[in-house]
Amino acid sequence: MDQKVSSLKGVGDNVASKLQILGIETKDDLIWNFPRKYEDYSEVTPINRLKPGQVTVKVKIKQATGRYVRRGMHITEAVASDETDSVRLIWFNQPYRAKAIKNNQEYFISGNYELSRGRFSIMNPSAELASNFPVNTARIIPIYKETKGLKSFTIRKLIAGLQDDIKQIDEGLPKFITKEQKLIPRFKALLNIHFPPSAEALDEAKKRLAFEEVFTLVLTSLINKQENIRAKSIKIPFKENLAKEFVGKLPYKLTDAQRKAAWQIYKDIEKDIPANRLVQGDVGSGKTVVAAMAALMVMEAGYQTAFMAPTEILARQHAKSLSEMLKPLGMADKVVLLLGSMKPAQKKNAHASIKSGQASLIIGTHALISEKVDMHKLGLVIIDEQHRFGVEQRKQLLKKAGHVPHLVSMTATPIPRSLALTVYGELDVSVIDEMPPGRKPAITKIVSPNSKKQLYEKIDKEIATGRQMFVVCPLISESDKFDYLSAEEVYKELSKKVFKHRKVSLIHGKLKTDQKEKIMSDFAAGKIDVLVSTTVIEVGVDVPNATVMLIEGVERFGLAQIHQLRGRIGRGQHQGYCYLMTGDSKAPGKRIRALEQTNDGFKLAELDLELRGPGAIYGISQHGELDLRLANISDTKLIASARTSAQEFLDKGEKLSNYSWLEKEVAKNRLITTLN
């Protein structure tokens, strides 16, 4: 299967290069390149019963002639006949057709039967000699992803030539699973996904291949969980009086959801099995204080906590807020910040403090993974916005301890239940589904570009009362590929024209860290009225005075992402307003309208998953490899049956090494699932 496609008959350098564009380099790639859709030409109709639309006839062809007409266009015409009647065939710009057609041979012809110049003809049909296994006609025809110079009929022909190879493919799944789930053999599913003999056979093929996609994901997560349970960690005792003292000195009351999440973490870390918990909660729901409560017990037990954030802005913010929370207990001096942008002397002091054990709570970004960082006694790792880190980065942080420390991940991106059971199956999940008292959800409105002037006037009145505004754009600079306003264009328009009487600033990912820090601190201090940005502000920016957000080119963002962005406004006592600017004046679709109708992040994440796939929720870098060709990750019935089978596989003591394909898939999946 690793044989290069260039070795196949009919594949020269040109076709090989076109296949490479589609990511097809080996026979295996070709076989697993599934059709994107199908056209049904399976019903062979007598000519005298033809009706307008897609048709297939079995005929003999006479009088095939070709000629050039105006502007160099070539037309090939032929007359095809069966026992009932005759019909005209017309091909445009296919001069080879007239010579290729053999007289008095039977052909299958499939194409569109339509009115042309006053009479019905079959236009631009596929034609192949009648046989028991037609490839391009007289069947349900697979349509593949194409590229310039490479059409589906070439791909079909190549895959048809690999039928003997496909028949040799291993089963992949244990017999007890295929029997219980009533799955057809793997080789048969692969044959039928490319060349289905019927609609029923196609459904059976999809069922089999979709099941094994989800089964391998679920099995991976269960194996991860099994290994985690076998590992040893340190027990962190729960001190009730300390927890009560901490909570009692907070300037606000915890929600019940926060209390429950903290208690679940406390129960986890009391055991010598490494905690592996994910805390989900909307922006502003109070995840940081729950993290502080977890770190507090670890610090009290004489161990260290590493708190890893995705950006320096967020790391600084966490360091500030966690120090303030721990100050009443006299523990603020045990908090240390470590960032890549810090000066050498600052880093040296931080490293020394960490090594000596004086620092009990170490907050930073990727700098925490540096070889120079010598964790004294690492007991807990907290990762904020955990899906923003690669698995390898997380593993490096865990290695610092010498044993397996407890892990708590936090995310403001709601994870749909279906993904929680597959990609995140080994995690225990806590959900903070309450907002602190007095927190008002942002009022969200969809706005057409035609209404921009009136909207700016309305926003200006809000700014005049002392409030601030975010404008979020999908691009930094103007692009030929996308017709959306860029942050640079919007900044120019707002600073020079619309809000020239206001203080307008621009921030994006290409700016240096110190520039971003300065802009964000100025915005937080109220020195900037309007901040034009890319999604660099999506994570962690806390400016209670910002009450307005305008998102340009809203179609370019995922629903979960927009939901997280709008959580950045209205964090203080004033009402927040989020305006979603569409790319054109057309009516918005179901996806965007959902944002007006609900503030439930889980509902939005489920919808995003259904309509756009996991990449829309998590971003391509982490989950681009979640390459589900057929399975719908929202299919709860499929996930439930796959999960039952995966658990049975483990309960029976089956060995992965007995199933080479399955072993390979699990190894690949472990690169994209969470910690193992």
Q: Do 506 and 402 reside in the same domain of the chain?
A: no
- Quote the pLDDT of residue 397: 64
**Whole-prediction pTM value?**
0.70
Q: Do 17 and 157 reside in the same domain of the chain?
A: yes
Q: Do 27 and 122 reside in the same domain of the chain?
A: no
Q: Do 475 and 533 reside in the same domain of the chain?
A: yes
Rounded Cα distance between 559 and 555, Å, is 9
Q: Per-residue DSSP letters for 571-639? A: -SSSPPEEEEE-SSSSPP-HHHHHHHH---HHHHHHHHHHHH-THHHH-HHHHTT---SS--TT-HHHH
- Quote the pLDDT of residue 69: 84
Q: Considering the domain boundaries, does residue 397 fall inside one?
A: yes
User: Does residue 333 or residue 411 have the better pLDDT?
Assistant: 333
Q: Kindly state the percentage of the chain with pLDDT values over 70.
A: 91
- Quote the pLDDT of residue 675: 44
Lowest-confidence region among 346-360, 407-421, 643-657: 407-421
Angle between helices 287-300 and 240-248 (to 10 degrees): 140
Question: For residue 129, what are its two tokens?
Answer: 């000699």
Q: Considering the domain boundaries, does residue 2 fall inside one?
A: yes
Q: Is the pLDDT reported for residue 674 higher than 60?
A: no
The separation between CA 177 and the C-alpha centre of its own chain, rounded to angstroms, equals 29
Q: Do 28 and 47 reside in the same domain of the chain?
A: no
- Quote the pLDDT of residue 200: 94
Q: Is the pLDDT reported for residue 453 higher than 60?
A: yes
Q: Considering the domain boundaries, does residue 620 fall inside one?
A: no
92 burial via Cβ count (<10 Å: 0-12, 13-18, 19+) = exposed
Average pLDDT estimate for 376-403: 71
The region, left, alpha or beta by phi > 0 then psi within -120 to 50, assigned to residue 382 is beta
Q: Considering the domain boundaries, does residue 152 fall inside one?
A: yes
Q: Which one of 55-59, 62-66, 102-106, 426-430 scores highest in mean pLDDT?
A: 55-59
Q: Considering the domain boundaries, does residue 614 fall inside one?
A: no
What residue numbers bound the domain in which 92 lies? 43-138
Q: Do 363 and 479 reside in the same domain of the chain?
A: no
Question: For residue 350, what are its two tokens?
Answer: 């931080």
- Quote the pLDDT of residue 429: 85
User: For residues 499 and 468, is the Cβ–Cβ distance under 8 A?
Assistant: no
In this prediction, residue 48 has a pLDDT band, given cuts at 50, 70 and 90, of: very high
Last residue of a domain, one of 528, 563, 598: 598
Give pLDDT tens digits for 290-304.
999 999 999 999 999
Read off the CATH number of the domain in which 128 is found. Answer: 2.40.50.140
In this prediction, residue 618 has a pLDDT band, given cuts at 50, 70 and 90, of: very low
Lowest-confidence region among 247-261, 263-277, 417-431, 553-567: 417-431
The span from the first CA to the last CA of the chain, in angstroms, equals 30
- Quote the pLDDT of residue 622: 40
- Quote the pLDDT of residue 421: 66
Last residue of a domain, one of 362, 389, 411: 411
Q: Do 453 and 379 reside in the same domain of the chain?
A: no
Q: Considering the domain boundaries, does residue 230 fall inside one?
A: no
Q: Do 348 and 465 reside in the same domain of the chain?
A: no
Rounded Cα distance between 507 and 511, Å, is 7
Q: Kindly state the percentage of the chain with pLDDT values over 90.
A: 42
Q: Is the pLDDT reported for residue 113 higher than 50?
A: yes
Read off the CATH number of the domain in which 305 is found. Answer: 3.40.50.300
Give pLDDT tens digits for 390-447.
556 556 666 777 678 898 988 877 777 666 666 666 778 888 888 777 777 889 999 9
User: For residues 209 and 629, is the Cβ–Cβ distance under 8 A?
Assistant: yes
User: For residues 532 and 491, is the Cβ–Cβ distance under 8 A?
Assistant: yes
Q: Do 26 and 47 reside in the same domain of the chain?
A: no
DSSP state of 171: -
φ, ψ (nearest 5 deg) of residue 288: -65, -40
Within a 10 A sphere around the Cβ of 76, how many other Cβ atoms?
22
Q: Is the pLDDT reported for residue 617 higher than 60?
A: no
- Quote the pLDDT of residue 144: 92
Q: Is the pLDDT reported for residue 122 higher than 70?
A: yes
Q: Do 3 and 50 reside in the same domain of the chain?
A: no
Q: Considering the domain boundaries, does residue 215 fall inside one?
A: no
Task: Provide the mean pLDDT of the chain.
Answer: 85
479 burial via Cβ count (<10 Å: 0-12, 13-18, 19+) = exposed
**Number of structural domains found in the chain:** 4
Q: Do 453 and 339 reside in the same domain of the chain?
A: no
Q: Do 397 and 521 reside in the same domain of the chain?
A: no
Sequence length of the chain is: 676
Q: Considering the domain boundaries, does residue 3 fall inside one?
A: yes
Give pLDDT tens digits for 303-324.
999 998 887 878 888 999 999 9
